[in-house]
């Protein structure tokens, strides 16, 4: 038998299958667009929502490995806790069955015959790609072309292995895998670990089944092994990550191993004792899809009630505890960049968190000039240090993100975020400046006059309100609150001019201490600039809403 003429077309078909799957999933992901941004909000809900979310996301990107790698990234970034991660991991196993159903559709939906539909899909997709000017058209074209290439790939694989039906040696391999559950599981795990895609691994199995080469029992054991093999990608991804991220990858592995052990026992009893004849018959593509789906749904249903025990077991095996949250450390992870739309939303969340830290600083700055408190001075300096670290980390991450192949709209979103980070960081600098003014007052035993204190407090309130509205406008994408910022900033500008004029008159008349008066004027400058940067944030929000 000429194995070269079997292997080369098979490998070529596999390459086309994987490439088609990738460009189709990329098109689906891009088409999902803003809907995927809501993922981070959904993640804050219960574990069942996590299962549904994991299934939906994996159905779109067609890779449980990619979803789990994303989960590892979320946990490493502190966006998701281990309980939420467990739900998404369970759902990912269900979502990955979609590709198998697409491939097996050639058996239960005749109109999806690759020979008939795949070439048409490719040419239709190419026409849309060449003629469509909008991004949405190109995304649709990617989905259609990917769909066609996927079917052409699976057809080529099936045709390539068809001659192996005559090979007794090759057939005996699958018979042995059916008789020996451990070998079957190891074979499925090894192949999936090598190509790092359970969807592609199932596709290979289906192409062999289409040629009438795979016994029912062997297929069941191989499918269970494939679920273990798909954990390799996440395990590799967790290398170098924080302890919790490694635990998330270990949870994925434990979940699939426990499910495999349980269902292997049932399979062995069925094929060895209850109905040995059932395991000898050849399986078809649709039956593989059914078995794959039943195994993954069954494992999820069975282990969902005890999922917290799996989390505890993963922690115990990995000898890890929950990491302490470092507020000054950027909670972003490059693994999430595999899905830019979610990575951008993660940056938005970090910028909002940075904004909240500065809002807290501004509240302390409102009182530090009037009540002697070295603790508040130290607090403001420490907060500024945190914000500097966040600013540098977020900026570095956003620049890396903008270097990826993302849409023009996404590039604009990143640019707006970078500008907002800069504005928030500058406001933090001014809060630190105010703390230095306060420290100077403490050391020289200086105080503002009663009138000066009242006027400065009024200015502080206006500017703090302006910034608070800016952060709320950023979080909520609220034009109404952005307009409030502009209103407050205008008030701050007018107030700064008025208060400066009145204060200079007091200095001229000798009604206040000169050194305290200089601090008063310097503070006015800082506050007016805080309101200017708050307005910049509001204008960035309104530009994004155009």
**Nearest to 159, CA basis, from 106, 198, 231, 108:** 106
| Residue in 430, 295, 320 with CA at minimum distance from that of residue 369 | 430
Distance CA 290, CA 296 (A): 10
- What is the Cα–Cα distance from 411 to 415, expressed in whole angstroms? 6
- Transcribe 127-181 into DSSP letters: HHHHH--SHHHHHHHHHHHHHHHHHHHHHHHHHHHGGGGG-HHHHHHHHHHHH-H
In DSSP notation, 327-390 reads TTS----GGGGGSHHHHHHHHHHHHHHHHHHHHHHHHHHHHHTTS--HHHHHHHHHHHHHHHHH
| Inter-CA distances, 532 with 53, 424, 454, 464, 540, Å | 41, 11, 22, 12, 13
What local confidence, expressed as pLDDT, does residue 528 receive?
Answer: 95
> Which structure tokens are listed for 371?
């009540």
Residue 162 has what pLDDT? 74
DSSP 271: I
> Whole-structure pTM over 0.85, yes or no?
no
C-alpha to C-alpha distance for 224 and 298, rounded to whole angstroms: 12
Quote the CA–CA distance of 425 and 107 in Å, as a whole number.
60
Q: If 0-12 CB within 10 Å is exposed, 13-18 middle and 19+ buried, where does residue 450 land?
A: exposed
Segment-wise mean pLDDT, segments of 10 residues, the chain, 546 residues: 78 84 72 57 68 81 73 74 88 85 69 68 88 80 84 78 70 75 90 78 84 87 90 79 82 94 93 87 90 93 93 83 64 80 86 95 93 92 93 94 85 94 96 94 89 92 95 93 95 94 86 86 94 96 83
What are the chain's domains?
4-318 (no CATH), 339-544 (1.20.58.220)
DSSP string, 179-193: H-HHHHHHHHHHHHH
What's the burial of 478, exposed, middle or buried (CB within 10 Å: 0-12/13-18/19+)?
Answer: middle
Residue 43: its pLDDT value, please?
A: 57
């Amino acid at each position: 038998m000429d194995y070269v003429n079997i292997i080369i077309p098979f490998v070529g078909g596999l390459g086309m299958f994987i490439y088609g799957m990738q460009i189709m999933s990329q098109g689906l992901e891009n088409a999902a667009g803003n809907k995927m941004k809501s993922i981070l909000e959904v993640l804050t809900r219960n574990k069942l929502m996590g299962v549904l979310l994991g299934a939906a996301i994996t159905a779109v990107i067609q890779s449980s490995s990619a979803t789990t790698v994303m989960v590892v990234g979320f946990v490493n970034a502190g966006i998701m806790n281990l309980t939420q991660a467990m739900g998404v991991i369970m759902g990912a196993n269900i979502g990955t069955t979609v590709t198998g159903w697409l491939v097996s559709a050639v058996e239960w939906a005749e109109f999806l015959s690759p020979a008939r539909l795949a070439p048409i899909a490719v040419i239709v997709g190419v026409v849309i790609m060449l003629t469509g000017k909008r991004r949405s058209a190109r995304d649709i074209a990617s989905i259609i072309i990917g769909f066609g290439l996927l079917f052409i790939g699976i057809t080529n694989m099936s045709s390539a292995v068809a001659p192996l039906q005559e090979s007794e040696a090759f057939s005996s391999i699958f018979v042995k895998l059916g008789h020996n559950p451990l070998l079957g599981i190891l074979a499925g795990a090894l192949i999936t670990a090598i190509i790092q895609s359970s969807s592609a691994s199932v596709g290979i199995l289906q192409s062999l089944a289409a040629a009438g080469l795979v016994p029912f029992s062997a297929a069941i054991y191989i499918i269970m092994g494939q679920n273990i093999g798909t954990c390799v990608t996440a395990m590799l991804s967790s290398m170098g990550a924080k302890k919790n991220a490694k635990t998330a990858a270990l949870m994925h592995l434990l979940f699939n191993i426990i499910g495999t052990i349980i269902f292997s026992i049932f399979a062995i009893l069925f094929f060895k004792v209850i109905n040995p004849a059932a395991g000898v018959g050849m399986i078809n593509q649709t039956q593989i899809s059914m078995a794959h789906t039943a195994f993954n749904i069954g494992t999820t249903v069975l282990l969902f009630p005890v999922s917290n025990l799996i989390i505890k077991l993963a922690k115990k095996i990995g000898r890890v505890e929950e990491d302490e949250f470092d507020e000054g450390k950027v909670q972003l992870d490059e693994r999430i960049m595999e899905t830019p739309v979610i990575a951008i939303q993660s940056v938005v969340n970090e910028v909002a968190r940075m904004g909240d830290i500065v809002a807290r600083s501004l509240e302390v700055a409102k009182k530090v000039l009037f009540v002697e408190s070295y603790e508040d001075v130290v607090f403001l300096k420490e907060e500024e240090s945190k914000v500097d670290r966040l600013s540098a980390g977020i900026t570095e991450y956003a620049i890396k993100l903008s270097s990826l192949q993302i849409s023009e709209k996404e590039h604009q979103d990143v640019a707006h975020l970078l500008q907002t980070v800069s504005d928030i960081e500058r406001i933090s600098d001014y809060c630190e400046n105010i703390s230095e003014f306060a420290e100077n007052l403490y050391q020289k035993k200086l105080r503002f006059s009663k009138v000066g204190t009242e006027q400065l407090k009024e200015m502080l309130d206006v500017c703090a309100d302006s910034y608070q509205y800016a952060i709320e406008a950023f979080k909520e994408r609220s034009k109404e609150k952005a307009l409030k910022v502009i209103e407050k900033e205008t008030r701050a500008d007018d107030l700064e001019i008025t208060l400066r004029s009145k204060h200079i008159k007091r200095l001229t008349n000798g009604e206040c201490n000169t050194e305290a008066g200089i601090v008063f004027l310097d503070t006015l400058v800082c506050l007016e600039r805080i309101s200017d940067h708050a307005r910049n944030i509001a204008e960035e929000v309104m530009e994004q809403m155009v």
